[in-house]
Structure 1
Amino acid sequence: MKITGIKAWQIDLPLKEGRYSWSNGNFVEIFDTTVVAVETDEGVTGYAECCPLGSAYLPAYARGVRSGIREIAPALIGLDPTNLGAINRAMDSALRGHAYVKAPLDIACWDILGKAAGQPLYTLLGGAAQEQIALYRAISQEAPEVMARKIAGYRAEGYTKFQLKVGGDADEDIARIRACRNILEPSDVLVADANTGWTRAEAARVVAAVADLDVYIEQPCPTYEESLSVRRRTARPFVLDEVIEGPQMLARALADDAMDVINLKISKVGGLTKARLMRDMCVASGTLMTIEDTWGGDIVTAAIAHLALSTPAEFCFSATDFNSYGTRDIADGAPKRVDGFMTACDRPGLGVTPMIDGFGDPDICFS
């Protein structure tokens, strides 16, 4: 089997709530996602999606996905898409870094591999390790009482895990955490995610002020070293996200006992090939994971579901159903939330069929 063509479409994903806000005044109202198709000489096409969280979150941006694909695509024409090692080596040779650009190409090749093998991706990623995946709900940064009210609403929909967007004024963040913890049941999970938004001094104040609460502290500061300093000042369980950019950084963090949980974002680390490696490193070390991505729609949600379903439940802290945040469907057969849980489908590959007829002409077309 050989790759004969690569196409990509730009698609807007509006939000049901109108705006998603996080630390340092950042927000997005319409997400810019890229859907990729990798075509083969045997008539099997693989699909994937990549959707950065704006341009001020990670070293990634939506137009960069498409620019990077233009750089990499010629190097993949003629290669066997089921040889994932060769595909990733070719991408790394064609473009240094820019893991998020390579992610949809890697995932589309996994989709082809699953279709060629007649197996769902969760089988190829290790086999089903749980029946359903517990989801968390991200709560956009607003006034404390508004965030608490939204948590109550989402809890009524079946969610029991909540990621609170903090990383603003320390006093207001303390109020946000307290207001939201107060309306939850003891068994509910609350994560205070600063998204790198605090200085070390601000983070020290916040973790001291909420020391009596059952709350996880996530990614308080911009750097690994600052966050590790905060980790050593608090007994609260600790989550790292933005600074865990790949297997090497994960190995360092595991050696430093830098966290209890990581957020494993598939596109941030370059696709399912590297995400599976990092997942297995976490399982071997007893480290929990939230399995997710930067953002996306139906196709991103499907990739999350397959990796999460193949992860033992005791190490799968939570996952994300991004397609429930938006107003637009872009693929048939995608996972759907049921009472705070989702699962992956049993069809070969990702198991989704993109609604290409509604995408218009592709922005990128290589053959």
Structure 2
Amino acid sequence: MNANAGASIGARYPARYWHRLDDGRYQCDLCPRLCKLHPDQRGACFVRMRAGDEMLLTTYGRSSGFCIDPIEKKPLNHFFPGSSVLSFGTAGCNLACKFCQNWDISKSRDLDTLMDAASADEIAATAQRWGCHSVAFTYNDPVIFAEYAIDVAEACHARGLKTVAVTAGYISECARQDFFSHMDAANVDLKGFSDDFYVKLCGAHLQPVLDTLTWLKRETTVWLELTTLLITGCNDTDDEIRKLSHWVCSTLGADVPLHFSAFHPDFKMADVPATPLDTLRRARRIARDTGLQHVYTGNVHDSDGDTSYCAGCGEALIVRDWYEIRSYRLDTAGCCPRCGTALAGRYGAVGAAIGKPFGARRIPVALHRTQRT
């Protein structure tokens, strides 16, 4: 474990991934923003700060809250379906999405909102005590609290737990190997498929995300699923959906799951209407027509769009209703019982014993509770 893993909660935690420039500023190398900081300045994410001659992660060991969710809520439909996951985040973000659905956390500039203090081992122990199969770094982007996420991941792996990153994938080449080597699965937000969309609505660029996705698929064993939040009039045209789907199919593979999720009015786009179900279904049809095998609809009630089908014979293998699993027909090897085709993903003992899935519950957790309610 990293030598700093035992740092006390709230301590001045030294950040990694930076270097000193010739002009005296410190450059943060964690993400493609490459923020260049004078003393007492913070990066665009707000949580990485230069304090005198140090670079600090100001949110190490502090969380905006803990909750037990179904793994399907991340969303991950092919990673030990039916299992439960302990989810938590911190504050801040390295993107500036005008449509952020978790803006009260990701855009927070008040570190007093981080009420729950927890060491890496306390988080892993709590997940184990509550019978969770994994721990998810989510709500805000774990890239910006990479040092904390890595230490928690090491503690989880020591207890036999899996780890999940829910991220926008906006991370530098120099940091991604370190970060993702500690993750078992990732759901990456591919927010649109034009640089114009990323620049105007996210304050970022598309290519670094595509680079992260390509690297994850080709160079790692991390289980990968994608999510695209469709916003009416912004990224929901047939042409953009077709280009996005074709890129995923041709570059990442036909078996990579893609989730089209519904936007609801929020943050700086409160005047934009919620995404209609018909838009999600249209996107799903287009993506499947391009060759993608596992395409889902999210944030809506659509059982067909929640169901995992066999890529070989079309059999309904995992039937879902919202986050409830209604039918689970994979054999112990994760294959279709009808034709024997393997369903892409990670299954094992959890999937084989899915007789009592976690379901659609959401359980807020205090880290030192010892019994279920």
* Higher relative contact order (Cα pairs below 8 Å, separated by 6+ residues): 1
Measured against the shorter chain, the TM-score band is 0.3 to 0.5
- Structure with the higher fraction of residues in helix conformation: 1
TM-score scaled to structure 1, two decimals? 0.38
TM-score scaled to structure 2, two decimals? 0.38
